[in-house]
Amino acid sequence: MIRKAWSWLSTSSLGVRLGSTLMLALMPLGVLSVVQTRDALDQVDETTLAGVGGTALQAVREQIDLINEAQLAARVLASVLAPSATPDFSCVDRVTAVARSIPQATLVAYIPMSGLMTCSSTGRVYDFKDDALFQGMIKEPLPSIVYNPHGPVSDTAVVGVSHPVFSRTGAQVGMVAISLSYTSVAPDDYAGSLALWRPSYLATFQADGTVLLSSDTSKSPADMVPGGVDMTRLALLADRPAYVDDAEGRHILSVVSVADGLYLLSVWQREIGGIWQRASTLTPYLLPVLTWIAALIAAGFASSRLVVRHVRALSRSMSSYVSTKERLHIPDLSGAPAEIKSLHAAYEGMIHTIEQDEAEMQNLLVDKDLLIREVNHRSGNSLQIITSIMRMYRREAQDQKLRSVLDGLIDRVIALSSTHTSLYALSGHRDVAMDVVLADVVKRLKEIHGVALGMTSSRLQPIRMEAQAAVPLALALAEAMGCYLAKPGIGPDGVVVDLSEAEGKIRLRIEGPDVPQLRPDATVGLQSLPKRMLQQFAAQLSGSVSIHHEADRASVDLVFPRPKGA
């Protein structure tokens, strides 16, 4: 199943090629859809940035309105108080009335320049002369908003709204202060119409970076602002929301100016919803990818239904015929294209022609094998006749040198005869077992020379070589053994034949007694003929021959590379 799917998805598959062509044809449409979708996403991002400021402002609108109301009340109260009069019950009535109009106020008071508060909505008397915040307010007689984590009168965290009180001559005579409970102005969590973003942190702060209100008092504003922006520089980002990326993901940083010197900071975090929201970043590529996949599937199905299934059936039939000579049944080709029908007809004609040619070739091979067997048989008989004739001449010859020459010739003819006999027995094979051929040569030479059992030993590895290398190797063996066996008085294991192969080199080693024909001084005349013959046989095998002498022993080493293709 996996192999079938892999073959269908192969780049050489007709369905994949057709699908790839359609994908290339649809690529301009896909690129256009990607560009349009990305433009739409950019517009959504711009709309989101534009909307988060207003949405954050709406989330703390109630608290900002409270601060604005307190600022207005402080300004009105400062204008109606009699600057030069000593605080009396009318001052207390006025601050009490303001406190009743602002339920969230913990304190409404008039504080003279001396710092001794006697006019307050709570009726308490408190001396602010040594209070650092009060000293800062009278030092710069301007309306201000401050955050005091520990209000001296209420003993709670408060947001103080102050306004200076001036006399008719323009001299500052005191300060109107309204303290708002901090918990009452902390912004609530917001869940609005924005589907992908939620505020993770809200805070109101002044231009110098002083935080007045925050949605989470346990966390430092500097830790909540992504991107490491300094709180003192946040006012420069007013009305310019931007995306900020950090280790925790993507955020929106928005700073909105809500009043003179008062700003609203909001940090928005992306909400991870369902699978479609997680895949929103892939939306620009979804349409072209789906289009290309549909084109590939359609092309693959059409090609498989109309063309590929018929081609595969024909291919399976061809592969089966090549490997097993069995012709598989091909399904109905009535619905196949005309080209495939024509291909099937050509295939049937080709199979018929191949079967006829193979039958004729088989007949020729049988005839050839019979002829080769006959040639080998006649060649062996001819060599046997030649050997018999030379033996007759040897028996009648009186000259010892002539007898030695005839002995050498008889040995060579016997080697040829044995080789032909082995090739005749192994005919029909591309290569022959050299250990079998050489063992037969050794046996025949021992019979001719009348050598008893145990006088020779053979260690022949099973090596197969091409038939054309058998003749020179067998003749080389006969040449060396003829020299050894001609010497009388050979003891047990007097002649050792070793055939081995290592590292691509074949080595034939024939060891025996020291004989004159193999000595270094045998360089001319009839006595040097064996050495010259060995060199010729080695040359035919593209190898080399060397003769070594040690004590009363001599060895012939014939080394040659394995023929290519053997």
Residues 6 or more apart whose CB falls under 8 angstroms from that of 269 comprise 197, 198, 199, 200, 249, 251
Q: What domains appear along the chain, each with residue ranges and CATH number? A: 63-185 (3.30.450.20), 372-561 (3.30.565.10)
The confidence score (pLDDT) of residue 171 equals 81
114 pLDDT above the threshold of 80: yes
Q: Is the pLDDT of residue 187 over 70?
A: no
pLDDT at 24: 75
**Which pLDDT tens digit goes with each residue over 336-386?**
777 777 777 787 788 788 878 888 888 887 787 777 777 777 777 887 788
Alpha helical stretches, state H, 304-337: 309-324
| Residues constituting the chain | 566
pLDDT in tens, 398-424: 888 787 778 777 777 776 676 666 666
pTM of the entire predicted model: 0.41
Nearest-CA neighbor of 56 among 239, 320, 271? Answer: 239
* Per-residue pLDDT, 267: 79
Q: Any alpha helices (H) in 329-469, and if so which ranges? A: 338-396, 400-425, 434-449
pLDDT digits (tens, 9 = 90+) for 30-68: 777 777 777 777 777 777 777 776 776 676 677 778 888
- Please compute the mean of the pLDDT values over residues 179-185 and round it to a whole number: 69
Confidence check: pLDDT of 85 > 90: no
Of residues 553 and 242, which shows the higher confidence score? 553
Distances (CA, A) of 478 to 154, 351, 400, 483, 497: 129, 51, 21, 9, 11
In angstroms, what CA-CA distances link 265 with 57, 187, 213, 240, 242?
9, 12, 10, 11, 12
Please provide the DSSP assignment of 24-70 as one string: HHTHHHHHHHHHHHHHHHHHHHHHHHHHHHHHHHHHTHHHHHHHHHH
Question: What average pLDDT does the segment 437-454 reach?
Answer: 78
In the chain, the percentage of residues whose pLDDT exceeds 70 is 79
pLDDT at 191: 47
**What is the pLDDT at residue 559?**
93
Nearest-angstrom CA–CA distance, 418 and 440: 6
- What angle, 0 to 180 degrees and rounded to 10, lies between the N-to-C axes of helices 400-425 and 470-485? 140
Q: Is the pLDDT of residue 194 over 50?
A: no
Q: Does residue 282 carry a pLDDT above 70?
A: no
Please give the average per-residue pLDDT across 19-38, as a whole number.
Answer: 73
Q: Could you give the strand order of the β-sheet that contains 262-270, starting from the edge strand earlier in sequence?
A: 211-214, 197-206, 262-270, 249-259, 242-246
Q: What is the mean pLDDT of residues 434-463?
A: 81
Q: Binning pLDDT at 50, 70 and 90, where does residue 273 land?
A: low
Beta-carbon contacts of residue 491 (< 8 Å; ≥ 6 apart): 455
* Pick from 89-93, 97-101, 542-546: least confident: 89-93
Asked if the model's pLDDT at residue 545 lies above 90, the reply is yes
The answer to whether the Cα torsion of 156, 162, 167, 171 is positive or negative is positive
Closest CA to 89 of 107, 110, 103: 110
- Is the pLDDT at 188 greater than 60, yes or no? no
Task: Dump pLDDT digits (tens) for 493-528.
Answer: 788 999 999 888 999 999 988 888 888 888 887 778
Question: Smallest Cα–Cα separation from 461: which of 483, 439, 435, 479?
Answer: 435
* pLDDT at position 500: 92
pLDDT at position 385 is 85
Dihedrals phi, psi of 469, to nearest 5 degrees: -90, -5
Residue of 537, 511, 532, 525 whose CA lies nearest to 416? 537
| Mean per-residue pLDDT over the chain, rounded | 77
